[in-house]
Homo-oligomer: A and B are copies of this chain.
Amino acid sequence: MTQNIYDDAGFFQNYSQLPRSQRGLDGAPEWPALRALLPSLAGASVLDLGCGFGWFCRFVAGEGAAETVGVDVSERMLARAMAETSAGSVRYEQADLESYQPPVERFDLVYSSLAFHYLVDLPAVFGRVAQALKPGGRLVFSVEHPIMTAPRHQTWGEDQSGLPVWPVGAYLQEGRRVTDWLAEGVVKQHRTLASYLNQLIGLGLSLRHVEEWGPTPEQVAAEPDWARERERPAFLLIAAEKP
Contact = CB atoms under 8 A, between A and B. Distances in A.
Contact of A151 (B151, B159, B208): B159
A120 interface: no
A100 interface: no
A197 interface: yes
A172 B233 contact: yes
Q: Which residue of A153, A160, A161, A171 has the most chain B CB atoms within 10 A of its CB atom?
A: A171
A166 interface: yes
B211 A194 contact: yes
Nearest to A164: B169
A161 B167 contact: no
A30 interface: no
A185 to B, nearest CB: 18
Interface residues of A, number: 38
Interface string A11-45: 00000000000000000000000000000000000
A159 B165 contact: no
Given A167-B159, A232-B168, A198 B209 contact: yes
A229 B114 CA distance: 29
Nearest to A197: B210
Interface of A: 147, 150-153, 157, 159-161, 163-173, 192-194, 197-198, 201, 206-212, 214, 230-233
In the A-B complex, the 8 residue pairs with the closest CB atoms = A165-B167, A165-B169, A172-B214, A194-B210, A194-B212, A169-B231, A197-B210, A172-B230
18 contacts: A147-B147, A147-B168, A150-B232, A151-B159, A164-B169, A165-B168, A166-B168, A167-B167, A168-B232, A169-B231, A169-B232, A170-B230, A171-B212, A171-B214, A171-B232, A172-B214, A172-B232, A173-B230
